[in-house]
Amino acid sequence: MLSILAVIRDGKDKPTNIVYATNSSWKRTQIMLSDLMGQDLLEMRITPRLSRKRYVITEKGVKLLEHFKKAKEMLPEIAYLAHAVSS
């Protein structure tokens, strides 16, 4: 699910582009998009002229990605500290 949020944040906002960018199946992507919208991490917008779906990451979704990025950056430090304590 984080990969979908990141892809949309980076500008791939159409369903087909999201499927390709995340290397996922159509059905699985649709389920995840629905789940992410249900958690207020994404919004779906319909273009007025062509009636096409586009997805936009919400502020809550951006914050979630930022938290995971910070956690990922801390992992090497945590592993080092855990090793130092156990030695």
Torsion of CA 33, 34, 39, 40, to 10 degrees: 70
pLDDT of res. 85: 61
pLDDT of res. 48: 86
Nearest to 8, CA basis, from 50, 48, 45: 45
CATH number of the domain at 30, please: 1.10.10.10
pLDDT of res. 86: 60
Q: What is the pLDDT along the chain (87 residues), one digit of tens a residue?
A: 899 999 999 999 999 999 999 999 999 999 999 999 999 999 999 988 888 999 999 999 999 999 988 888 877 776 666 666 665
Helix (H, G, I), strand (E, B) or coil at 48: coil
Task: Indicate the number of domains in the chain.
Answer: 1
Predicted structure pTM score? 0.80
* Domain encompassing residue 31: 2-86
